[in-house]
Amino acid sequence: MNSKFQTRLEKIESALNQFLPENSNDEWKNLSFGSIDSCVKDAHFANLIKPCKTLVSLGGKRWRPLLMVLCAELAADAKKRPSSEIAYALTPLVEFAHTASLIHDDIEDNADTRRGKPAAHLSYGLDVALNAASWLYFQATACIENLPLEGTEEEKAKIKNTFYTLFTTELRRLHLGQAMDILWHRNADLIPNQEEYTAMVRNKTGTLARLAVKAGILAGGGTAQEADECGKIAEDIGTGFQILDDVTNLTTGNPGKKRGDDIVEGKKSLPVLLHLKDHKEDVQVICKYFAQAKKEGIESPAVEECIELLTKSGAIEKAKGYGVMIIHNKTSELADFFGNGECESATLINELFASMQAPKK
């Protein structure tokens, strides 16, 4: 990895560790909870920390917080301002929200694994995982209250309110996207059109990319309008990566997951929709595969039969090409949004997404 990424990632990890440490400590308790009863034990805090910290520590690309930082630098360069540390302080907003959504997503999908390890609800119990992930959404906002801001108390309050409003709006959209996805995979015969699918992904997946970019632009001194315009570009980038993620699920298999588990979940991904657009006669065939795979599990022959059908029609390859095109076009648009596409942050934005699409060795 580019050493310039590594330097930034180390600062991001420091910010994440401040608000989600390995073990509870007095400074963290005060930052997160304020004054609490002395009888509250470390074991009580552990039921919040451990399920979330375990998943965060298992990896993840950290591309969302990194993108937030780079967008702050991009805006600051355009505005001829010094780079602000506020963006680093805000990184828990996107990484904690992402982690919380993964824990809840695994519960809702009845998934067995995440990042190669048992899903949180299997390792810690359904009640603990549900509560910890819900808490993490709220814990993400603790960083806003502790931002290193300058100015009067009124000016600081206004800036904090901007980030609170941004975060809560995007989180509501994330849950709307998940509600759409749940409706479709719970009803095998309900097939969305491509427009509905795109709207779902923009909310469920694109919203965290949008949150990262909008927060970064604002942290770098950009206007609300500039942040909104960049956010729209970012949600398309997020959509592109979700498409590629769905393609990977049906080809090599996602890291830490089994190939084709989207078939077991009855996921109406873009490859499925593209296939049905050209082969309407296969609706009942695919619905049958979904039902059989759901009943029999990942080892069901229906999983590979469905993948073979989508592969032969070219739907998987077509979806991949579409996702790559979106990411390439929108990344270039974002990097040169302010017309300073030759600056370091713009170059790194392009490099970041290029490296994420590179073949894994």
Task: Supply the Cα-derived Rg of the chain in whole angstroms.
Answer: 21
Q: Kindly state the average pLDDT of the residues 147-174.
A: 96
pLDDT tens-digit profile of 232-269? 999 999 999 999 999 999 998 877 678 998 999 899 99
Of 8, 106, 89, the C-alpha closest to 54 is 106
Angstrom distance (rounded) from CA 249 to CA 261: 7
Residue-wise DSSP of 187-238: -TT----HHHHHHHHHHHTHHHHHHHHHHHHHHTT--HHHHHHHHHHHHHHH
Give the model's pLDDT for residue 1. Answer: 55
Q: Are 340 and 74 in contact (CB under 8 A)?
A: yes
Angstrom distance (rounded) from CA 319 to CA 327: 12
Q: Are 344 and 73 in contact (CB under 8 A)?
A: yes
Q: Tokens 């609800």 — which residue?
A: 121
Of 181, 239, 254, the C-alpha closest to 208 is 239
* Whether the model pTM is above 0.85: yes
Angle (CA) 142 146 148, round 5° = 145
- The domain tally of the chain equals 1
Give the model's pLDDT for residue 188. Answer: 77
Strand bridging mode 113-114 / 117-118? antiparallel
Angstrom distance (rounded) from CA 316 to CA 319: 5
Angle (CA) 13 216 19, round 5° = 35
3-state SS assignment for residue 313: coil
pLDDT tens-digit profile of 75-126? 999 999 987 789 999 999 999 999 999 999 999 988 888 888 999 999 999 9
Angstrom distance (rounded) from CA 64 to CA 69: 9
Lowest-confidence region among 21-30, 179-188, 311-320: 179-188
With a pLDDT cut of 70, the percent of the chain lying above it is: 98
Give the domain CATH number at 181: 1.10.600.10
Give the model's pLDDT for residue 360. Answer: 40
Q: Which domain holds residue 81?
A: 3-357
Q: How many residues does the chain have?
A: 361
Cβ–Cβ contacts within 10 Å for residue 178, how many? 18
Q: Are 309 and 286 in contact (CB under 8 A)?
A: yes
Report residue 139's pLDDT band, with 50, 70 and 90 as the boundaries: very high
Q: Read off φ and ψ for residue 114, nearest 5 degrees.
A: -150, 125
Angle (CA) 242 246 252, round 5° = 130
Average pLDDT, the chain: 93
Of 244, 168, 148, 149, the C-alpha closest to 211 is 168
